[in-house]
Structure 1
Amino acid sequence: MVIEDWKQSGIATKFPTYRNSPLVTVHSWQKGKRQDDEAEGLWRIYDGIYDFTEFINKHPGGPFWIKETQGTDITEAFEAHHLTTAPEKMIAKYKVRDAAKPRIYTLTLHEDGFYKTLKKRVSEKLKTVDKSPKRKSDLIHFGILLSTYLFAIASAKYDSLLALVLAGVALCWTVIVSHNYFHRRDNWQMYTFNLGLMNFCSWRISHAMSHHIYPNSYFDLELSMFEPLLCWIPNTHIKSKAMRYVSWVTEPLAYAVAFFIQMGTRIFYSVRHTNIMYWHDLLPLTLPLAMLVGTGGTAPVLLCIRQWLAMTSIASFAFCVIGLNAAHHDPEIYHEGDTNREDRDWGLFQVDTIIDRGDLKWSQFLVLTHFGDHILHHLFPTLDHGLLPALYPILYETLDQFKAKLRECNHIEHMIGQHKQLLRTEPNTRAPGK
């Protein structure tokens, strides 16, 4: 890709370098961000440069978050992942100098702005919130995880299509619920995300550090990784309207092989460039192994492998049907190229890029397995999904104060809207909130 005049970002003063890469991956995104962010090889928060080298192994959330963000601007991530003022005071001793150049990102986090106002209120509310729903989230996750292995074993033992489908759905839900955990400090539940051939380390970058911070923008790696099969940016320079109709045809195939593509891309990049594989990339193999052991060795090895690949494909398809129609793609949702809201508050930007699933709120199980409570999760990703319902009154109050609103629809409406967005080629000229 060659940078042209039309390549401008609505949230930054430059076009992200990684989108010029011949192969868009987590590693190319990180490499490009380190070139773009004016962090001077260290860590940037607002207009300060910090050296967290000695803090990497002391970080309460685990060393990964600090190690993998070196050389980048982590302002928004720092604010979203720390709800109290204690971290802000603690990092003062690690500041080495003021940044030489202005931030490239144009989103704001003013003390009296929407996000920081909401964050202060949420911090106070959390002191009195019932924490027992966190335990329920843990039980739901464990129950689905156990079901995945039991259905997988049954599918091999009885060569059952029904058990195979149930195993695929359970695997999909396991992966989705595990997403509730990898945003936080290191824990055992985050490893179960890897059962779907993906890797939580990769997703901590592509999802937590990229998509969550810069949704629906050129800096959103999850937006870029689906191109050209699926392209939601309303720009004819990227994909013609005729080709977008082809997306409707290629979409089911892309869904069914998405998990395999993720693993294949990481293996290819590791062989050709820099290794980005981990020991826990082997965890998916525990599924066919469980089939073999669980059937007492009576099921042929090839049958176990076939059932495993089939259930993974089912899980991949279901994951994409749920995930890509969960919140972010509809003609009414902000995408790169659309007119920006006048108030550039980062929290309001999150609100503008999401329409919530209003049909899930009555069930913690459905919220966990279908990416529910999406706006609150984007604003406060380290909180267990079970705690989010208690924060809605504060969210509504703050939205009213800043003349914004929470938009909702059901899954069918999201699916229709997502397909309309695939066809949209003209940017919205009406700013959100107008």
Structure 2
Amino acid sequence: MVIEEWKKSGIATKFPTYRNSALVTTHSWQKGKREDDQAEGLWRINDGIYDFTEFIDKHPGGSFWIRETKGTDITEAFEAHHLTTAPEKMIAKYWVRDAAEPRIYTLTLDEGGFYKTLKERVRKELKTIDKTPKRKSDLIHFGVLVSLFLFAIISAKYKSLVALILAGVALCWTVIVSHNYFHRRDNWQMYAFNLGLMNFASWRVSHAMSHHIYPNSYMDLELSMFEPLLCWIPNPQLKSKAMRYVSWVTEPVAYALAFFIQIGTRIFYSFRHTNIMYWHDLLALSIPLSIYLGTGGTVGLLSCLRTWLAMTSIASFSFCLIGLNAAHHDPEIYHEGDTNREDRDWGLFQVDTIIDRGDLKGSQFLVLTHFGDHVLHHLFPTLDHGLLPALYPVLLQTLDEFKGHLRECNHIEHMIGQHKQLLRIEPNPKPPGAGKKEI
């Protein structure tokens, strides 16, 4: 098969198979990655093939991460999700052989490079910083979780529009704060993510394994899942002029329906192809059930369902309004097709695909509920958001040494930039590194 010019990736030597799927899902992404990654049916880290079969149920972070990555290259994910040096030593006993083929990914994690240098400094810094903000994160999570149920019940009982909106916003915030937890070892907080009709297990694939590792590239599932409604890759063959402007009109509708589309797609795929549903998909039903029980049965089941669907639509809209304008889409941010930085360090690539929300800094609540401190979160996803502010000094020092830039703007500027990115079709001829509002 002849690969068209626009299908040539900036971070890999192969156009991802999953993008040729009729229906793009987490399952098709995983299936395509197993075909592409030259992992020989096992697990690949750098140029080594490992067999972690016996380790699946022993993994301290939970069996999911090992089980779901079998047959793929996990080099970058392994580095980003393990801060200590112990895992590097432990995997030696699971080594099988050298890989027969070179890696398809062109990003590097060299000793002495930006990410490895930063990681070592962060490892030392974590030994001295205050850990109490982690407890504050837990309290914030619990607070928004409880408030969504209270506002939902009040809304149904008193037919209050204000309470309905507050319930929707609280549901949105609960989902976003729960994202702070599903990057880590299994915990109860991650299950709250499912209250928004999405599923943490599915998002561990689409968000943690795909988007976090390969942001703004062809391998980023969070780009392809929105196409053709929203397309941020700057290529005229992917989006016509009409589609570019129409996306501005369809965007609010897509926002309000995003949660429902996610669950609908997964149900459809499960019936037609392979089951990708879980028992904890039923957790979202706890909301209408709580409304019914909380009102003492005085509100009919149909009315409870209407309240639940309305607040979920508000939450969906709010989630997209925050999430899609949080960090990754602006003409100044690297997207697939733009000129690559000469230094192919994976950590610098992460920095180049993000402009942080500077207006969130200083508030742990806002950071947790609005995807704040985004650069540091991408570089060290398993760390609680409450710990990230203490790492800025070493981040800025290391960025300065490796000619990287931490860029910031506010939410309105992000929204304007995101809409400009929807219109952009010409690749950026300049390599990333120079951004707006450098600090």
The equivalent residue for 1:417 is 417
The equivalent residue for 1:122 is 122
1: CA distance between counterparts of 2:91 and 2:300?
57
Q: Aligned runs of 1:191-270 on 2, under 5 Å?
A: 191-270=191-270
The equivalent residue for 2:315 is 315
1:18 has 2:18 as partner: yes
1:344 has 2:321 as partner: no
Deviations 1:232-275 (A, max 9, x none): 00000101123100000000000000000000000000000000
1:292 has 2:280 as partner: no
Deviations 1:139-195 (A, max 9, x none): 000000000000011111111111100000000000000000000000000000000
Letter in 1 for 2:62: G
Check whether the contact 2:6–2:337 (CA below 8 A) recurs between aligned residues: no
Letter in 2 for 1:208: A
1: CA distance between counterparts of 2:402 and 2:275?
46
Q: Aligned runs of 1:40-59 on 2, under 5 Å?
A: 40-59=40-59
2: CA distance between counterparts of 1:161 and 1:290?
18
The equivalent residue for 1:34 is 34
Q: How many residues align structurally? A: 434
Check whether the contact 2:62–2:185 (CA below 8 A) recurs between aligned residues: yes
2: CA distance between counterparts of 1:6 and 1:149?
48
1:137 has 2:132 as partner: no
Task: Give the TM-score of the pair, scaled to structure 1.
Answer: 0.99
Cα displacement (A) at 1:2: 8.9
2: CA distance between counterparts of 1:97 and 1:269?
36
* RMSD value, Cα: 0.9
- Three-state SS of the structure 1 residue aligned to 2:65 is helix
Deviations 1:99-141 (A, max 9, x none): 0000000000001000000000000000111100000000000
Gaps of at least 5 residues in structure 1 are none
2: CA distance between counterparts of 1:425 and 1:241?
9
Deviation above 3 Å: which 4+ runs of structure 1? none
Letter in 2 for 1:179: H
Cα displacement (A) at 1:433: 2.5
1: CA distance between counterparts of 2:257 and 2:43?
36
Check whether the contact 1:234–1:425 (CA below 8 A) recurs between aligned residues: yes
2: CA distance between counterparts of 1:152 and 1:310?
10
The equivalent residue for 1:327 is 327
The equivalent residue for 1:105 is 105
Deviations 1:302-351 (A, max 9, x none): 10000000000000000000000000000000000000000000000000
2: CA distance between counterparts of 1:59 and 1:79?
15
Percent identical pairs in the alignment equals: 84
3-12 vs 140-149, which moves further: 3-12
The equivalent residue for 1:66 is 66
2: CA distance between counterparts of 1:318 and 1:412?
14
- Three-state SS of the structure 1 residue aligned to 2:359 is coil
2: CA distance between counterparts of 1:408 and 1:4?
35
2: CA distance between counterparts of 1:244 and 1:49?
43
Cα displacement (A) at 1:3: 4.6
Check whether the contact 2:6–2:235 (CA below 8 A) recurs between aligned residues: no
Cα displacement (A) at 1:405: 1.0
1: CA distance between counterparts of 2:76 and 2:129?
25
The equivalent residue for 1:394 is 394
Gaps of at least 5 residues in structure 2 are 435-439
2: CA distance between counterparts of 1:432 and 1:357?
18
Letter in 2 for 1:230: L
